[in-house]
Structure 1
Amino acid sequence: MSKVSVALPRKSMSELERKFIKIAGEELSKVKLGGPTALAYLLDMIASWHGLRLEIGFHDYGQRWLIEGNARNKTADQLLRALFGIDDEPAPRRIRRAA
């Protein structure tokens, strides 16, 4: 019996994505109304991206995550949509998940 496991794709953020996350965290922590909730959703988004087997950049994943409606607090959703540049997106779409 072999003890070989399937290698998962390594996730790696670009330097720009790391700076984006750092600045976003600092700025969201300063926003009184919805900022802490948006920051919690941002952490959820990062964890979800990291656990996804698809090869997709964090920023693209974040936009799709928001379009799907995963940030269920209206104020936090608006803050994150502005952060990711998707203020005027159409109805939610689903991300295809790898099996």
Structure 2
Amino acid sequence: MNNVTAALPRKSLTAIECKFLKVGNRMLLELPNGRIASAALMDIVADWHGARASMGFEEFAKGWITEGNAKNKHADKMLRELFGLNNDPAPRRAA
């Protein structure tokens, strides 16, 4: 009898995503408290690779940040800026 296990979905970053991570990581490291955000960025990559879902990296990362997984206010703020997740109030609330 053969023991067969289901393979996890194969994930790989696109060339654009690789460049984004490289440049984004360098930008974070230049900021005060940027090392914390850089570590959280690497946590996103590791969690994406470990997740069984087959969603793309950007979608996964935005969800990860939105769910509050950064666990540090500085890292959360910097990652939101890096991924374009604005904290601006909704138009109805701004008035």
Aligned to 1:69: 68
TM-score normalised over the length of structure 1 = 0.84
Is 1:56 matched with 2:50? no
Higher helix share: 2
Equivalent-residue separation in structure 1 for 2:19 and 2:8 (angstroms): 25
Q: CA deviation at 1:15?
A: 0.8
Is 1:36 matched with 2:7? no
Unpaired runs of at least 5, structure 2: 90-95
The share of aligned pairs that are identical, in percent, is 45
Residues 17-42 of structure 1 show CA distances to partners (whole Å, capped at 9, x for unaligned) of 1000000111111112x200000101
Equivalent-residue separation in structure 2 for 1:28 and 1:57 (angstroms): 22
Q: CA deviation at 1:3?
A: 2.2
Q: Give the CA RMSD over aligned residues.
A: 1.5
Equivalent-residue separation in structure 2 for 1:67 and 1:14 (angstroms): 23
Equivalent-residue separation in structure 2 for 1:89 and 1:7 (angstroms): 41
Aligned residue identity for 1:5: T
Q: How many residues are paired up?
A: 89
Contact 1:35 1:76 in 2 (8 A): yes
Aligned residue identity for 1:87: N
Q: CA deviation at 1:89?
A: 7.5
Contact 1:29 1:36 in 2 (8 A): yes
Unpaired runs of at least 5, structure 1: 91-99
TM-score normalised over the length of structure 2 = 0.87
Structure index of larger Rg = 2
Aligned residue identity for 2:68: G
Aligned residue identity for 2:62: Q
